[in-house]
């Protein structure tokens, strides 16, 4: 049984109230979360309790994977005061993967994460009728359906209940339920000043949604036909790629300061172009379009959390996230690995067990 | 610095008239094939339809099967041509001779990159054409078949409306390349006019056996007329974007959607740094700085460097901005970034009376210093400050 708190009223206001009280009582030095800045939505760090009402804790939108911001704020592990972090489950998973790569530290972070219904994609959020889209979204979420206007990778996400959260929250039609998962979580809920109840998250609801998403996932992956793609299929899928590498720059896992595929080693002297031209009769310039995407898959698939940022950042609508999530799923299954499930589990490719992968390696 | 506006204003007066009854593309490809057959160049760099038929890519080729899929004037600008040519020659001049067929702003970017030592123009024949603009890439990829039709309709009807915002206000849509220009505007009778402007351009036309004997004045006067008309619509558009972004608050508001993907930078032909200063360690904040800023202001927005990045990028590349619009095409949240950079670029360039990419011989303004004439209208560092710069 977990301690939990139900706050009546608007869910955003409820979470804001909890966070305000944490700040006012000095339980935390700052709050991190999605909020309004002008007309736009960005991540904010808030120290002044009076500014808490600009937070949008339940807004189904992801302008950046929060893991990237948290990594910058906490790299070095010198955070001296506590921050309450409102973060979506896949962002928290992305952050855990970065922590494993020594690109961030969970020290002094208290995580508050929702049972996530998914997020609207950029075009729907910025170009659509936002109020209408949001109301359709919440209708679907409250009736335990998968919203139709979320990112494709959200609709197949099986880990929409957070790992590693101190508090898991679930907006309801009446308000917000907040469940503590750790002693720190209990402490935060207690500081709100209302009596806590004992209970647990309604698993039947989550299980039902989970099985719907999993069957979605199967159909979705089958439809991609990644196994049959081969080089020809990849050339077709990535043919319109502009080479902006936006997919890599917004990816929480792509943490390299200088990507190997942007390094000098991947630029070529004129002689090489000439040689390739003689061999094939034509060379795409700049070269290595498919190589970049395949290379990126090889580098990050084992940790891909399927957040969908890459697809949203793609200016030419290549379904990058769908392809990468599918590849990630396959690689992660080989290693029985759920990226971001734990903070202290080694990344599979950084460990070696002598008798591993025998089924693949033909011993 | 020397004011170099005077360079490159002479329009070549004669060209070679080529029949183009099936349109621009087949006629140009025909000439290019002759260039390859004659050995004047060994391969051509030009846009070719990708295998999935939903966009174009730059391809270096001499092969008929690829040339058949080429489109010298595609509806969209995918990779900026200057960037493609840089990929090909940034580590040294091409050993074989090649021709590069590009839009005027791509040629101009190539020339800026040559000045910045990111392109070696030796062994490259640059061919430009009169440009009707390009469609926003997002509109095209939504439905490539419709995109092709919309573009060809727009070209047919001289309709600039469906084109990208910076194309609609472009006044350099017919900048002649240093070597050879393909004139179509004001050229009647199902023909195109090949206008050479360098010895290389002339000898190419000699080689492929066409005579430069047709008077080019109907083309040049048409361009003059169109440019004048374009200038007035540009004035209006620039005033609008300036109004929209004037003052710190408005500027910050327009950029507030920025997700810091830096796509604008990575597709920019002029942003050639392998590692952007604004992505390096020096511009990163420490944990303490994040917390101190938040404590001081009550709250901070992430990324903290959105304005710094855009203003910094602007100050680094504004002098060479060719207003190609690639940055805006690549922005996932539709910030009118090219319109802003283009308006600012115009202002900073006119301060130095510099038009980027007009000639490889024009020095980059910030690379040279002329004691007597340098920004005297601003700094008054003149031979005789009391009498002004023209006092000598």
The CB-based long-range contact list for A127-135 (8 Å cut-off, 24+ gap) reads: A127/B334, A134/A60
Q: Which two tokens stand for residue B352?
A: 């130095």
> Does A253 lie in the same domain as A181?
no
Q: In chain A, pLDDT over 70 holds for what percent of residues?
A: 99
Tens of pLDDT along B85-111? 999 999 999 999 999 999 999 999 999
Q: How far apart are CA B43 and CA B50, in angstroms?
A: 18
Chain A residue closest to B290 (CA)?
A73
Q: Which residues contact A104 (CB under 8 A, 6 or more apart)?
A: A67, A70, A71, A74, A75, A95, A98
Chain B closest-CA separation from residue A2 CA (Å) = 32
Backbone angles phi, psi at A242, to 5 degrees: -85, -10
Which pLDDT value is given to residue B374?
65
For chain B, what is the mean pLDDT? 92
Q: Which has the closest alpha carbon to A146: A154, B113, A53?
A: A154
Q: What mean pLDDT do residues A55-63 have?
A: 98
- Taking phi over 0 as left and psi of -120 to 50 as alpha, with beta for the rest, B57 belongs to beta
A175 band by pLDDT with thresholds 50, 70 and 90: very high
Tens of pLDDT along B208-251? 999 999 999 999 999 999 999 999 999 999 999 999 999 999 99
3-state secondary structure B294-351: HHHHCEEEECCCHHHHHHHHHHHHHHHCCCCCHHHHHCCCCCCHHHHHHHHHHHHHHH
Residue A275 near chain B (CB below 8 Å):
no
B378 band by pLDDT with thresholds 50, 70 and 90: low
> Does A205 lie in the same domain as A62?
yes
> Does A244 lie in the same domain as A169?
no
Q: What mean pLDDT do residues A327-346 have?
A: 96
**Contact predicate A105/A131, CB 8 Å:** no
For chain A, what is the mean pLDDT? 94
Q: Which of A220, A246, A265 is the last residue of a domain?
A: A220
Whether the predicted pLDDT of B383 surpasses 80? no
Whether the predicted pLDDT of B283 surpasses 90? no
Tens of pLDDT along B140-191? 999 999 999 999 999 999 999 999 999 999 999 997 778 999 999 999 889 9
Residue A29 near chain B (CB below 8 Å):
yes
**Contact predicate A168/A162, CB 8 Å:** yes
Q: Which of A220, A254, A271 is the last residue of a domain?
A: A220
Q: How far apart are CA B242 and CA B251, in angstroms?
A: 9
> Does A57 lie in the same domain as A173?
yes
> Does A314 lie in the same domain as A292?
yes
**Contact predicate B245/B340, CB 8 Å:** yes
Which pLDDT value is given to residue A362?
63
Which residues in B lie closer than 8 A to residue A292 (C-beta atoms)?
none
- Domain borders along chain B are 14-237, 252-377
Whether the predicted pLDDT of A205 surpasses 90? no
Whether the predicted pLDDT of A76 surpasses 70? yes
CB nearest to A44's CB, from B252, B279, B299: B299
Eight-class DSSP state of A241: -
Query: How are beta strands A30-37 and A40-46 bridged, if at all?
Result: antiparallel
Full domain range(s) for residue A299: 225-361
Q: How far apart are CA B219 and CA B97, in angstroms?
A: 29
CB nearest to B57's CB, from A257, A281, A284: A284
Q: Which has the closest alpha carbon to A92: A150, A166, A186?
A: A166
- A267/B87 Cβ within 8 A: yes
- A249/B266 Cβ within 8 A: yes
Q: Which of A177, A193, A220 is the last residue of a domain?
A: A220
Which pLDDT value is given to residue A49?
98
Q: Which two tokens stand for residue B368?
A: 């040279």
pTM: 0.94
Q: What ipTM score was computed for the predicted complex, to two decimals?
A: 0.95
Whether the predicted pLDDT of B3 surpasses 50? no
Residues 194-223 of A with CB under 8 A from B: none
- A285/B58 Cβ within 8 A: yes
The tally of domains found in chain A comes to 2
Name the least confident of B63-72, B318-327, B373-382.
B373-382
Q: What mean pLDDT do residues A89-116 have?
A: 97
> Does A208 lie in the same domain as A100?
yes
Instruction: Kindly state the helix (H) or strand (E) to which residue A224 belongs, with its residue range.
Output: helix A203-224
Peptide bond into B303 cis (omega under 30): yes
Q: Which has the closest alpha carbon to B97: B73, B118, B113, B120?
A: B120
> Does A71 lie in the same domain as A160?
yes
Which pLDDT value is given to residue B391?
44
> Does A203 lie in the same domain as A334?
no
> Does A211 lie in the same domain as A233?
no
> Does A243 lie in the same domain as A269?
yes
> Does A91 lie in the same domain as A208?
yes
> Does A215 lie in the same domain as A85?
yes
């Amino acid at each position: 049984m977990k301690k939990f708190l139900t706050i009546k009223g608007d869910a955003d206001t409820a979470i804001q109230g909890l966070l305000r009280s944490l700040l006012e009582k000095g339980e935390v030095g700052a709050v991190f979360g999605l909020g309004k800045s002008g007309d736009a939505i960005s991540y904010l760090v808030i120290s002044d309790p009076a500014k808490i009402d600009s937070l949008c804790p339940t807004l189904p939108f992801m302008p950046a994977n929060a893991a990237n911001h948290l990594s910058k704020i906490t790299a070095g592990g010198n955070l001296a005061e506590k921050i309450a972090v409102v973060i979506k489950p896949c962002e928290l998973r992305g952050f855990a993967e970065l922590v494993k790569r020594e690109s961030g530290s969970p020290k002094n972070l208290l995580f508050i994460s929702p049972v996530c219904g998914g997020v609207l994609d950029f075009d729907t959020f910025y170009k659509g009728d936002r109020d209408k889209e949001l109301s359709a979204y919440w209708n679907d979420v409250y009736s335990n359906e998968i919203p139709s206007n979320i990112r494709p990778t959200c609709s197949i996400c099986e880990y929409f209940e957070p790992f590693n959260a101190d508090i898991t929250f679930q907006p309801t039609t009446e308000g917000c339920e907040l469940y503590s998962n750790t002693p720190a979580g209990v402490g935060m809920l207690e500081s709100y000043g209302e009596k806590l109840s004992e209970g647990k998250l309604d698993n039947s609801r989550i299980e039902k949604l989970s099985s719907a998403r999993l069957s979605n996932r199967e159909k979705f992956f089958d439809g991609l036909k990644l196994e049959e793609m081969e080089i020809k299929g990849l050339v077709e899928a990535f043919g319109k790629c502009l080479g902006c590498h936006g997919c890599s720059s917004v990816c929480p896992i792509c943490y390299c300061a200088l990507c190997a595929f942007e390094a000098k080693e991947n630029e070529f002297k004129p002689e090489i172009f000439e040689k390739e031209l003689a061999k094939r009769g034509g060379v795409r310039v700049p070269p290595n379009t498919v190589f970049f995407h395949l290379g990126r898959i090889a580098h990050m698939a084992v940790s891909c959390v399927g957040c969908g940022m890459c697809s949203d950042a793609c200016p030419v609508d290549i379904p990058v996230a769908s392809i990468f999530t599918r590849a990630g799923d396959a690689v992660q299954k080989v290693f029985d690995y759920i990226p971001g499930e734990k903070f202290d589990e080694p990344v599979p490719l950084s460990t070696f067990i002598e008798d591993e992968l025998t089924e693949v390696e033909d011993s | 610095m020397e004011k170099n506006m005077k360079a490159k204003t002479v329009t070549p007066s004669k060209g070679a008239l080529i029949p183009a009854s099936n349109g621009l593309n087949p006629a140009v490809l025909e000439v290019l094939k002759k260039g390859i057959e004659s050995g004047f160049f060994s391969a051509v760099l030009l846009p070719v339809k990708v295998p999935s038929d939903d966009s174009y890519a730059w391809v270096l080729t001499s092969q008929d099967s690829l040339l058949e899929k080429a489109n010298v004037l595609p509806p969209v600008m995918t990779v900026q041509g200057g960037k493609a040519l840089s990929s090909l020659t940034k580590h040294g001049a091409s050993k074989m001779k090649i021709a590069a067929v590009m839009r005027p702003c791509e040629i101009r970017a190539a020339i800026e990159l040559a000045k910045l030592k990111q392109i070696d123009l030796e062994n490259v024949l640059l061919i430009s054409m009169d440009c009707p603009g390009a469609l926003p890439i997002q509109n095209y990829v939504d439905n490539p078949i419709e995109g092709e039709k919309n573009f060809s309709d727009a070209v047919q009807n001289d309709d600039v409306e469906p084109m990208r915002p910076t194309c609609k206000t472009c006044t350099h849509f017919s900048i002649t390349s240093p070597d050879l220009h393909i004139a179509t505007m004001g050229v009647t009778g199902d023909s195109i006019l090949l206008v050479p402007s360098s010895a290389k351009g002339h000898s190419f036309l000699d080689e492929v056996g066409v005579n430069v004997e047709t008077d080019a004045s109907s083309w040049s006067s048409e361009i003059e007329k169109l440019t004048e008309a374009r200038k007035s619509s540009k004035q209006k558009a620039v005033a609008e974007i300036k109004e929209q972004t004037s003052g710190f608050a408005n500027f910050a508001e327009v950029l507030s959607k920025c997700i810091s993907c830096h796509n604008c930078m990575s597709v920019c032909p002029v942003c050639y740094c392998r590692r952007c200063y604004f992505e390096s360690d020096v511009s990163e904040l420490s944990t303490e700085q994040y917390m101190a800023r938040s404590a001081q202001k009550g709250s901070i927005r992430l990324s903290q460097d959105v304005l710094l990045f855009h203003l910094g990028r602007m100050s680094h590349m504004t002098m060479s901005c060719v207003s190609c619009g690639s940055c805006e095409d690549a922005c996932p949240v539709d910030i009118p970034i090219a319109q802003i950079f283009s308006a600012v670029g115009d202002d900073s360039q006119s301060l130095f009376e510099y038009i980027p990419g007009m000639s490889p011989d024009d020095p980059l303004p910030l690379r040279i210093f002329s004691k007597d004439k340098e920004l005297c209208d601003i700094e008054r560092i003149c031979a005789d400050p009391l009498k002004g710069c023209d006092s000598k």
